[in-house]
Amino acid sequence: MSKNLQALSDEEVVILVRNANQELYREIVVRYQEKLIRYVAYLIGDENLAADAVQQTFIKAFVNLHGFKVKKKFSSWIYYRIAHNEAMNLTKANERVKRVKHFQRLYQPRGTFKKGRGF
């Protein structure tokens, strides 16, 4: 490769990854991991959950790399198409878990009733 890897644009790295240089995807991860964690943590308010969402973001981006249009900006695609959606999906999932736990606490039997006794 004539150019230094760091001198390549994101879109050029994507083209190389698509052309069977999949190990170069690591460069995308290095470029975006910290920034995406900060962005997603800002959206959902939890850095640990943000790290999970970003991991899913990188997986989805890699799997769907063939669908990325290299004439567009890669950063916009990974931030606003994938990471943002992962953050929203994680938020929805956490809200469902909270609701289920809340209802489990509400409807959990508090004790047993003796036969013949009223409320």
3-state helix/strand/coil string of the chain: CCCCHHHCCHHHHHHHHHCCCHHHHHHHHHHHHHHHHHHHHHHHCCHHHHHHHHHHHHHHHHHCHHHCCCCCCHHHHHHHHHHHHHHHHHHHHHHHHHHHHHHHHHCCCCCCCCCCCCC
Name the pTM for this structure: 0.75
pLDDT band, residue 2 (cuts 50/70/90)? very low
Residue 53: pLDDT over 90:
yes
Residue 28: pLDDT over 80:
yes
Percent of the chain with pLDDT strictly greater than 90: 66
pLDDT for the residue 1: 45
Q: Average pLDDT in the 87-114 region?
A: 69
Which domains are assigned to the chain?
Answer: 5-106 (1.10.1740.10)
